[in-house]
Structure 1
Amino acid sequence: MKSRSTFLAIMLSAGLVACDEEILNPVNPNQLGTETFYKTGPQLVAAVNAVYAGLQANNLYNREYFFLQDLLSDDNQSGGAQLEAPRAQVLNHVFDASNPLVEANWRGWYRIIHRANLVLENASQATDDITEDLRNRVIGEAYFLRGLAYYELSTLWGGVPLMTVSAVSPEGSPRSSQEESFDQAKNDLNEAISRLPLKSAYSGSDVGRATKGAAQAVAAKLALFRGDYAGAKAFLSEIINSGQYDLTARYSDNFEEENENNIESVWEIQFSEDFGANGGWNADGTDIAEVTFRGQEYGPNAWRNVIPGENLVNAFETTPKEDPRKGFSFYRLGDTFNAGASVLDESSVQGDNSKPSWKKYQTIYKRANENTQSGINFRVIRYADVLLMMAEAENETSGPAAALPYLNRTRNRADVMMPPYPTAQYPTGTKEQTRIAIQHERQVELGGEQVRNRDIRRWRRAGFLQSEPIAVYAERYNLLPLPTAELDNNSALTNADQNPGY
């Protein structure tokens, strides 16, 4: 999978040509289309590769996904450069339905859904050079990717139009309820779980494809969001008992290029500088550019558009020792980079250089400068996240004693070794106290990994927040607005379908 992605140009057309009163065959065997494609195993694999390729597009994990998640949370604040207006609106929670960042993510996820639908509709057509095991796996991959899309949409936008067949006309789809949207994600993920192999089944160019564990992890995230802790616990137990995953001894192995797809990786988006010549600015995913702009956007000696927020920086414990993850997560003046050959100084850091910059996912650990050609994979789900989700599920179903072994695993990593819970600052005698400890541990372990935004939303939804971490939060931001372009172009929607407050 860490190779040039295959993009499909499916041309749907119909026409009749008359000659001597005979109707000729309208299908051109040399033209890619649903009538001539999907005939072989390699073509079916190419079709599902095109779904993965949509994840690498500018409007998702290449750029706009991490911006949306980070700016909606309290993990980040504006850095050395002036944020573009749409991003500043999201950071300051003053956005509306016309915000381009919100629309970009919406479009990106529906592109994933459309491409996945094409695979699911046409998988049965492949008859040459294919085994039933391969067909079943590809179908599982498509269900996983569509389920991931509906998880993202339903947890951020609420009820959304449900498209389970590919679009063949301009006619729109009505909005479903949030519960119906949750159920669509759940059903897709369950289908994926039943079809996908374990991580160890993949090797070579197939490393990075969706796995049973990845589908179970997203299903667990969805269950937690819905408050179904027993359901989440069942999925998480399967992952933990699979023997496929463990924590890496070195925390930073999860954010550097040399250590991708490691034992802690449950699933990650594959990037590579080998195919980044176009830079990936094309938001519709048709430019083949398997790179991410994250290093350039967040880098301390690059644009530094986004830096760690004060809530996150201050969350790291300092007694009886400073949590090592703070140094692993942030760069400060005086830190070395470029394989130890360079030192960050005031002249190289934009803006208020007394504040830290992001170290996670930065390529300057091994080179002098960031650029838009970073090939570092995007770790969507780590095993540390699984363990902390399990701690939460156990706390809510069985109580603190069952939660503590999972909660303490991340603190017992070889290069972290923080004192186990309970601590003086974070007692765990009650379920409520353990919730606070879990919330703290998730914030410092997973900071800047696009997890915090959804954590805050689900804890707010469950009434688990002790205080509101986002000062400018208002009720209207419980859900993102349906984009204005969607309301304008979807004939099945009206302004009455918009979320409250927009």
Structure 2
Amino acid sequence: MKTKYISMFIALFVGMVSCDEEKLEPVNPNQLGIETFYRSGPQLEAAVNSVYAGLQANNLYNREYFFLQDLLSDDCDTGGPQLEAPRAQVLNHVFDASNPLVTANWRGWFRVVHRANLVLENADKAVEEITDGLRNRILGEAYFLRALANFELVSLWGPIPLMTSSAESPDGLPRTSEGEVYQTIFADLAEAISRLPLKSEYASEDIGRATRGAAQALAAKAHLFRGNFAEARPFLEAVINSNEYALVDRYLDNFEAENENNSESVWEVQFSEEFGNAGGWSGDGNNIAEVTFRGQEYGPTAWRNVIPSISLVEAYETVENGAEKDDPRGRYTFFRIGDTYNNGQSVLTADKVQGATDRPSWRKYQAIYKRENEDTNSGINFRVIRYADVLLMMAEVENETSGPAAALPYINQVRARADVDMPPYPTVQYPTGSREEMRLAIMHERRVELAGEQIRNRDIRRWRRQGTLPSEPIPAFQSRNDVLPIPLVEIDNNSALSNADQNSGY
């Protein structure tokens, strides 16, 4: 699908058109617009490509999404000489409704919702060069992407304005209850599941599009976030029993460019150095790029603005005692002084690293495994949902509904990956004889397996809300930060909202 992202730019205007302006201006049949665009299969496909392109924007996976998720968690710390003030505020949990990082993510996800709505509203207009199968698939993709965006929004902000149609005026909508938002998410995912192909049914040029398995895994994630373990089970079973996915033998295959869209990938956002540039910094975060800033921002030889936290580094098992052994995922996740990179041709020395050299740096998603220096043009895909995540979610479901014995096969399957080969549970550290002990083991396993993958923040929030956190992992946490503030610019510009609608404490 990377080659198809070139065509996404044709449709970017779709998300930017003001319907008020269109009502004032006569329609020119020779000019592309909403009235003249959605007439063929290729145009409709270009329109759904523009929804995917929204994920590549500066305010989402190009840059700001990984910052917000990682800094809200306890997996990260500041590593370079100076973390920009808005990011430092998020890291220290002292942000307010004017924080640009919070605003950027809000805008980015609502742009995805708006573009998905345009596809859903106009899909029936395409009558040329289109089959029922193509139309059905494109509708499934749009439903999936709208559900993804709404889940990101409701899980971070609570009640949100629920856009089920494209914007027709500058006016906004009032907040909708979390329950109603989730009803829409699950309805959208049901539509997506009924319409989307399996991953193996896509042609090679379409790899990277939403799949049935991705929609099922997302539905499970949403149910788990709400503590609905029994409801999550059938979706996880469907993914596991599909035989579409398997753990790869080499852990780092999940974070390098040469092994993208592999058997472990349930769904990932596509990037490539072959197209585009870094995207730059735009006022509203709308710049689209086929590359990300991740390597430059997190890289040990680059800006190193974000590094692993001490608590994360210490979470990896490092005991050599009988059946116990060091967890190699620590080596796969971090760069330390003395490690080689650049295909083994370079050695990481203290003079190449900004900030405290006694602290490790991130290895995941870093391009220096194959080159000397990082820059703002990393083409490594973001793995949004991995099969390892699915197996650990299933372990959690089994533990909460059936007990620890039923959870063991799933958590041990993750530990048995060929180049991880950790001793199976129970272990000395995690005896897992009770539901509470298994819960702690699953929490540990999710942290060390999925570190730095924008998952920990949401895990902490759901466990906190469900009352299962053994202790508060973020000392600076305040109850108000369990949800983010509605951005001040939204309240100022949306006549359906006022300061009274702001989340408590902001």
Q: Shorter-chain-normalised TM-score: which range?
A: over 0.9
Which residue is equivalent to 1:6?
A: 8
Residue 299 of structure 2 corresponds to 299
- Residue 493 of structure 2: aligned partner: 489
- AA aligned to 1:446 is L
Per-residue CA distance 1:128-170 (angstroms, 9 max, x = gap): 1100111010001000000000100111100000011111112
2:414 is aligned with 1:410: yes
Equivalent residue for 2:185? 185
Q: In the alignment, what sits opposite 1:137?
A: 137
Q: Distance in 2 between matches of 1:146 and 1:420?
A: 39
Aligned residue number for residue 479 of structure 2: 475
Give the corresponding residue for 2:212. Answer: 212
2:58/2:286 contact within 8 Å kept? no
Are 1:159 and 2:153 matched, yes or no? no
Per-residue deviation, residues 318-368 of structure 1 (Å, max 9, x unmatched) = 122110000000000000001111101110001001000000000000000
The answer to whether the aligner puts 1:250 opposite 2:283 as a matched pair is no
**1:424 is the counterpart of 2:425:** no
CA separation of 1:36 and 1:192: change in aligned 2, threshold 3 A: same
Pairwise CA distance, 1:89: 0.1
Distance change (3 Å), C-alpha of 1:60 and 1:96: same
Distance 1:453 1:5 in 2: 34
Q: Which of 332, 350, 361 matches 1:346? A: 350
User: Structure 2: how far apart are the matches of 1:317 and 1:412?
Assistant: 15
2:227 corresponds in structure 1 to 227
> What SS class does the counterpart of residue 240 from structure 1 fall into?
helix
Distance 1:177 1:84 in 2: 34
1:462 alignment counterpart: 466
Please list every run of 5 or more consecutive structure 1 residues that lacks an aligned counterpart in the other structure: 18-25
Q: How does 1:65-104 map to 2 (within 5 A)?
A: 65-104=65-104
Q: 1:318 maps to which residue?
A: 318
Whole-angstrom distance in 1 between the partners of 2:24 and 2:441: 68
Q: Any idea what the Cα deviations from partners look like across 1:55-80, whole Å, max 9, x if unmatched?
A: 00000000000000000000100002
Letter in 1 for 2:498: T
The answer (yes or no) to whether the contact 1:208–1:267 under 8 Å persists in 2 is yes
Q: Contact (CA 8 Å) 1:252, 1:328: kept in 2 or not? A: yes
Q: Answer whether contact 2:113 2:149 (CA < 8 A) is retained.
A: yes
Structure 2 counterparts to residues 436-447 of structure 1, below 5 A: 436-447=440-451
Shift of 1:184: 1.8
Q: Which amino acid aligns with 1:412?
A: A
1:122-133 superposed matches below 5 A: 122-133=122-133
Tell me, in whole angstroms, the C-alpha distance in 2 between the residues paired with 1:467 and 1:14: 55
8 Å CA contact retained: 1:62, 1:280: no
Change beyond 3 A, Cα 1:314–1:16: closer
Equivalent AA in structure 1 for residue 229 of structure 2? Y
Q: CA deviation at 1:106?
A: 0.1
CA–CA distance in structure 2, aligned partners of residues 466 and 339 of structure 1: 41
Partner of 2:240: 240
Q: Which residue in the other structure is 1:21 paired with?
A: none
Return the offset for 1:411. Answer: 0.5
Ranges in structure 2 where 5+ consecutive residues have no aligned partner = none
RMSD between superposed Cα atoms in Å:
1.3
1:115, distance to aligned residue in structure 2 (A): 0.3
Q: 2:38 aligns to what?
A: 38
User: 1:418 corresponds to which letter in structure 2?
Assistant: M
Q: Separation in 1 of the partners of 2:145 and 2:350?
A: 44
The answer to whether the Cα contact below 8 Å between 1:391 and 1:438 also exists between their aligned partners in 2 is: yes
Identical columns (%): 69
Equivalent position SS for 2:325: coil
TM-score by length of structure 2 reads 0.96
- The alignment status of 1:279 with 2:279, answered yes or no, reads yes
Show CA shifts across 1:479-498 (max 9, x none): 00000011011110111111
Given that 1:275 and 1:288 are in contact with CA atoms closer than 8 Å, whether structure 2 keeps it comes out as: no
Query: SS at the partner of 1:69?
Result: helix
Alpha-carbon distance in 2 for matches of 1:483, 1:28: 37
Matched, 1:393 2:400: no
Matched with 2:173 is 173
Distance 2:457 2:35 in 1: 43
In 2, Cα distance between equivalents of 1:15 and 1:483: 29
What one-letter code is carried by the residue in structure 1 that aligns with 2:222? Answer: L
Query: Which amino acid in structure 2 is aligned with residue 75 of structure 1?
Result: D
Tell me by how many angstroms 1:276 deviates. Answer: 2.6
- Quote the Cα distance in structure 1 between the aligned partners of 2:249 and 2:473: 31
Structure 1 counterpart of 2:289: 289
The total of aligned residue pairs comes to: 494
Structure 2 distance, partners of 1:234, 1:15, is 47
TM superposition score normalised by structure 1: 0.97
Shift of 1:203: 2.2
How far residue 237 of structure 1 moved from its aligned partner, in angstroms, is 0.2
* Mapped partners of 2:311, 2:182: distance in 1: 30
Contact 1:268 1:380 in 2 (8 A): yes
Q: Residues 127 and 283 of structure 1: is their aligned pair in 2 closer, same or farther, counting only changes over 3 Å?
A: farther
2:380 is paired with a residue whose SS is coil
> Offset of 1:280 from its aligned partner?
4.4
Query: 1:111–1:16: structure 2 CA closer, same or farther, 3 Å change rule?
Result: closer
> 1:29/1:414 Cα in 2 relative to 1: closer, same or farther (>3 Å)?
same
Q: Secondary structure of 2:440's partner?
A: helix
1:428-458 deviations in whole A, cap 9, x for unaligned? 1111110000000000000010000000000
- The Cα of 1:16 is off from its aligned counterpart by 8.0
The residue aligned with 1:358 is 362
